Amino acid sequence: MNLTPWNEIARAGTWIAMSGQSVNLTEADLDRIVAGFAADDPDGAPLVFGHPTVDAPAYGWVSGLRREGDRLVAAFRDVPEAVKALVDAGRYRNVSVKLTPDKGRLVHVGLLGATPPAIKGLSPVKFSAGDGLTIEFSSGGDMNELEQARARVRELEAENAKLKAQVAELEGQSKAAKDASAAAEKAFADYRIEEAGRGREKRFAELVKAGRALPGEKAKTLAFAEALAASTGDLEFASSDGQTVKVAKEEAYWRELEARPENGLCQEFAAPAGSGASGGAVPADLAKHV
C-alpha cells in the first residue's frame, strides 16, 4: 500500500479560514473527524496541492486518522515518489485541511509551498520513514499519566534531533544532491502536465459523447484550454446562494462547453415503422441536421 509516516495536519484552536471566517476547532471536533473517517471510502480524503476547485488530480490518499492530544495526525498511501522527493527536500513543508461545514468530515489535505498555513504550530510534513522511536499506549497499560508524558517528551526530543540532523544534511548537500532535487522537480512538473492533458482529453470525450462537441473541434478546444490554464487570474460568478465564487479561466471555459445544447448528431436514424424502406428515412425533427 506504500504508506507514509504519520504527520500532523491540524490542531485544536481558533483559526482564520480562507473565507476570512474565524473557526474554533476543538478536540471534540477532532474526535468527530476521526470517527467519521473510513479508509475504504471510495470518496475518501485525497492528498492535493493547495486547495484546487474541481477535477484536480490526487497525489495520494489518507489511509488513517487519529488524535494525539490537541493534534490531528494522518498517514497517507499511494504517494508518487516524485511527490515524496519534493516534500522531503523541503519544497512543501506545510499542510492545510478542508473540512465539511459542520467540521465533521475531512474533505482533503493540501500540501503548501510558499503559502503560509492557516493553522500554525504544526510540525513540518515528512513522507520518508524514519528510524526514530514510536511508542503507543493502550488504555489498559501500566504506565501512569506522568510516565506517559515523560515518554512523549523523550519521543519528541528524538524526533527533534532527527529533524535537526536532516536539516543540517540538506543545508550541506552536494551539487549532485541539488541536481537530483532539480530533476525530481522537473519530473513532477512533467507528471502534472501529463495528468492535466489526460484530464482535458477525458472531458472533451465526454462532450462528444453528450452531443455537445464534434470530434473535429478537439485540437482547437484542447489548445485553447491549455492556453487558459497557463494564464493568471480567476473569473467571478454568482452562485445559487447569492455568494460570489471564483473559478479558474480554464474551468470556466469547460463549464461553458458543458452547458451547450445537444447538437442531436448522436441520435440514430431509423425508418418509420411499416414504411418498408431498406435504408431508413430521416425523422422530420432531425431533418435540419442533415
Q: Please name every residue paired with 72 in a beta bridge, in sequence order, or none if there are none.
A: 10, 67
For residue 143, tell me if it sits in a domain: no
pLDDT of residue 5: 83
Residues 117 and 33 in one domain: yes
pLDDT of residue 220: 94
For residue 282, tell me if it sits in a domain: no
Residues 183 and 81 in one domain: no
For residue 111, tell me if it sits in a domain: yes
Residues 109 and 185 in one domain: no
pLDDT of residue 26: 92
pLDDT of residue 135: 27
For residue 145, tell me if it sits in a domain: no
**The domain containing residue 24 runs over which residues?**
7-129
For residue 54, tell me if it sits in a domain: yes
Cell numbers representing residue 13 in the block: 484552536
Report the C-alpha gap between 73 and 120 in whole angstroms: 14
pLDDT of residue 132: 32
For residue 82, tell me if it sits in a domain: yes
pTM here is 0.44
Per the CB < 8 A criterion, the answer to whether 186 and 91 are in contact is: no
For residue 224, tell me if it sits in a domain: yes
pLDDT of residue 39: 67
Residues 19 and 91 in one domain: yes
Residues 109 and 11 in one domain: yes
| Average confidence (pLDDT) per 10 residues, the chain, 290 residues | 80 81 89 85 79 74 92 90 86 85 87 71 60 31 52 77 80 73 86 90 92 92 90 72 79 88 65 49 47
pLDDT of residue 176: 72
Beta strands 71-77 and 61-68 are antiparallel
What is the tally of structural domains in the chain? Answer: 2
